[in-house]
Amino acid sequence: MNYPKELMYTKDHEWLKEEDGVAVIGISEFAQDALGDVVFVNLPQEGDEVVAGDAFGDVESVKAVSDLLSPVTGTVCAVNEELLDSPELLNSDPYGAWIIKVENVTDKEELMDADAYEAFCAEEG
């Protein structure tokens, strides 16, 4: 299992990276492994407001629908529309396949660094 050092992580298994004041959000390798084959990603639209801790979309896999909880409060400024046609990218490249980018971030969930997140995942088994 891979936990890139440059990313921050949530308890809900999303990753977050800050690029020039924009928060880039995706799901971790642990998450994609637990989900199994992803068949659809339900995305917000550019301009939508997201709230830290609230659902901003969902991932449907062969096992379940899982809500995506936003680690930040802000405005969606980009959506990875490639995922609409190729949802399996979340399985094959979870750290490359970002889901949304959020700007005007005003609030954040509690985040873990890679080491803390790895320990958290080990506990969840």
Partner 1 sequence: MIERLLVCRARGTDPYENLALEEALLNRVGEGELILYLWQNERTVVIGRNQNPWKECRTALLTEEGGHLARRLSGGGAVFHDLGNLNFTFLMPAADYDLPRQLTVIERACQSLGIPAERSGRNDLLADGRKFSGNAFYQHAGKAYHHGTLMVDVDMEMVQRYLSPSKAKLAAKGVDSVRSRVVNLREFVPDLTVDDLKTALVSAFASVYDVGTSLACPPIRKNLPNLSLRDQSADWSRQSILPSSLQTLTPDEFDLGGLRAKYASDAWLYGQKLPFTLSVEDRFPWGGVELQLNVNEGVIQAAKVYTDAMDETLAPRLEAALTGCVFRLPAQRSALEALTLPEEQKVNLLSLLERSL
Considering beta carbons, is residue 19 or 124 the nearer one to partner 1? 124
Q: Which of residues 41-70 bind partner 1 (CB under 8 A)?
A: 42-45, 55, 58, 60-67, 69
Considering beta carbons, is residue 60 or 88 the nearer one to partner 1? 60
Nearest approach in angstroms of CB 22 to partner 1 is: 21
- State the Cα torsion 66-71-72-78 to the nearest 10°: -60
Strand-pairing partners, residue 75, are 49, 103
Nearest approach in angstroms of CB 60 to partner 1 is: 4
Q: Rounded CA gap, 114 and 31, in Å?
A: 14
How open is the CA angle 40-103-84, to the nearest 5 degrees?
15
Considering beta carbons, is residue 5 or 10 the nearer one to partner 1? 10
